[in-house]
Amino acid sequence: MLVKTRNFSVAALDHFRNLQRLSFSILETMAANLKQGQTEKDVTRDLVRAYRDAGASSFFHLPVALFGERTALPGKWPVGKFFPKSKALEPGDSVILDAAPLFKGYLVDTSYSFCFGENDTHKKMMADLAQFRDQVPDAINANKSFKQIADDVLNTFENLGYEPAHTKHPGEVLGHRAVKTANLPFKWRISGFDGLSLTWFGLKDKWATSGLGRRSPLWNSSKASDHAPHDGLWLVEPHAGTGPVGAKWEEILVIDGGKARWLDDNPPHVRQWAQIAAGQGYGPDA
């Protein structure tokens, strides 16, 4: 099997959890060491090096660093805009760091968001994003379809007054599969991305969209997601934007027998929400 999506053993789930924690720790360490004047290009270059040093063999997508207004994905947002720019970090900027490394075929995808300085809009946005960590699994456990859940999240964003920036992600996804790929005897890359996982995602979604299958690895508001949630691991990533401020989180959700639970109980954003509720700072050095 070239790509495994479900029926993971307890040991495999433990490995996914440990790798997710490793990925978060790299993002948090990078966030804690950011300096005024650093550019997105500087940071993504350092992130690639840090993940390589930690054992990442490839990337589903290369590390992303977004500063200031770019965290909100303003206007039209083609894929090329995710690539790092010469945007320099300034006090009060919102920050999103995101990386999707593969460690010997295990794909994890994590996001870390904070504010470089004080920004009440970002603090409120981060706190508002907490509700989706209950809303999404509760909806799965209430037997809602993937499409219904994605639509409900959009309605909640509208009520909050935020733009659902995740609809500007490739595939307009609220979430996507976390997978284990086969260890090939050669490195297959497409423009720096992992060729096996990227091609598999593209083909599976194309087949589902054209009606040839019901197993799209993408989770959005499209007809291809109008089905009961599929078992396996899903990377959920609600992303909000308003004006020059954006924030998001991303982590692995486990669906087994149609029932959902988070793979880890205490990722960084959960700790951030507790810090905000306690009136404390919620940055990486808090």
Q: How many helices (H) and strands (E) does the chain have?
A: 7, 16
Both tokens of 271, joined, read 């700790």
User: What mean pLDDT is reported for the chain?
Assistant: 94
**Which pLDDT score, from 0 to 100, does residue 188 have?**
67
In the chain, the percentage of residues whose pLDDT exceeds 90 is 86
**Which pLDDT score, from 0 to 100, does residue 214 have?**
67
185 pLDDT tier (thresholds 50, 70, 90): low
Closest to 49 measured CA to CA, from 61, 39, 63, 37: 63
Residue 191 has pLDDT above 70, yes or no: no
Domain ranges across the chain: 3-277
Architecture of domain 3-277: Alpha-Beta Complex (3.90)
Mean pLDDT of the region 151-160: 98
**Which pLDDT score, from 0 to 100, does residue 247 have?**
98
Residue 105 has pLDDT above 70, yes or no: yes
Residue 34 has pLDDT above 90, yes or no: yes
**Element containing residue 173 per DSSP (H, E):** none
**Which pLDDT score, from 0 to 100, does residue 211 have?**
72
**Which pLDDT score, from 0 to 100, does residue 215 have?**
83
- Per-residue pLDDT tens digits for 200-231: 888 888 888 887 666 899 999 999 999 999 99
6 pLDDT tier (thresholds 50, 70, 90): very high
Higher pLDDT, 275 or 214: 275
Residue 96 has pLDDT above 90, yes or no: yes
HSE of 156 in the Cβ direction (CA atoms, 13 Å)? Answer: 19
Supply the DSSP string of 40-108, one letter for each residue: HHHHHHHHHHHHHHTT--EEEEEEEEEEGGGGG--S---GGGGS--SPBP-TTEEEEEEEEEEETTEE-
**Which pLDDT score, from 0 to 100, does residue 234 have?**
98
- Per-residue pLDDT tens digits for 106-122: 999 999 999 999 999 99
- Per-residue pLDDT tens digits for 64-87: 999 999 999 999 999 999 999 999
**Which pLDDT score, from 0 to 100, does residue 205 have?**
85
- Per-residue pLDDT tens digits for 251-270: 999 999 999 999 999 999 99
C-alpha dist (Å) from residue 130 to 64, 124, 151, 230, 240: 22, 10, 18, 24, 12
Mean pLDDT of the region 27-44: 98
Stated length of the chain: 286
- Per-residue pLDDT tens digits for 124-136: 999 999 999 999 9
